[in-house]
């Protein structure tokens, strides 16, 4: 059995959604600054790069939890399935 639960999967999914929203806001902010011809985006671009790397890690972690939950469900299904009698 895996260490993760469906609650862990829900939390990881929420973190991914929140991370995606933050990245989208940062990208929009950077685009607006460029559109207005404002300088000083080097630090913001560096932060965005870090945010994207973190988001990638969060997505991988969510996928690992999801895979574990699916594997657990299959094990439980097999364990709880009625046994056939030998013929």
pLDDT digits (tens, 9 = 90+) for 25-83: 999 999 999 999 988 889 999 999 999 999 999 999 999 999 988 877 767 777 777 77
> Rounded to two decimals, what is the model's pTM?
0.77
For residues 62 and 21, give the distance between their C-alpha atoms in angstroms, rounded to a whole number.
Answer: 16
Per the document, the length of the chain is 87
> Pick from 6, 23, 1: which is nearest to 62 by CA?
6
Q: Please work out, in degrees rounded to the nearest 5, the angle formed at the alpha carbon of residue 57 by the alpha carbons of 24 and 39.
A: 40
3 state SS of 77: helix
């Amino acid at each position: 059995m895996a260490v993760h639960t469906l609650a862990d999967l829900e939390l990881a999914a929420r973190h991914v959604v929140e991370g995606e929203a933050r990245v989208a806001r940062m990208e929009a902010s950077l685009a607006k600054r460029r559109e207005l011809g404002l300088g000083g985006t080097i630090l913001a671009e560096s932060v965005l790069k870090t945010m994207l790397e973190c988001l990638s890690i969060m997505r991988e972690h969510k996928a690992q939890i999801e895979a574990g939950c699916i594997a657990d469900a299959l094990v439980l299904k097999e364990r709880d399935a009625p046994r056939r009698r030998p013929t």
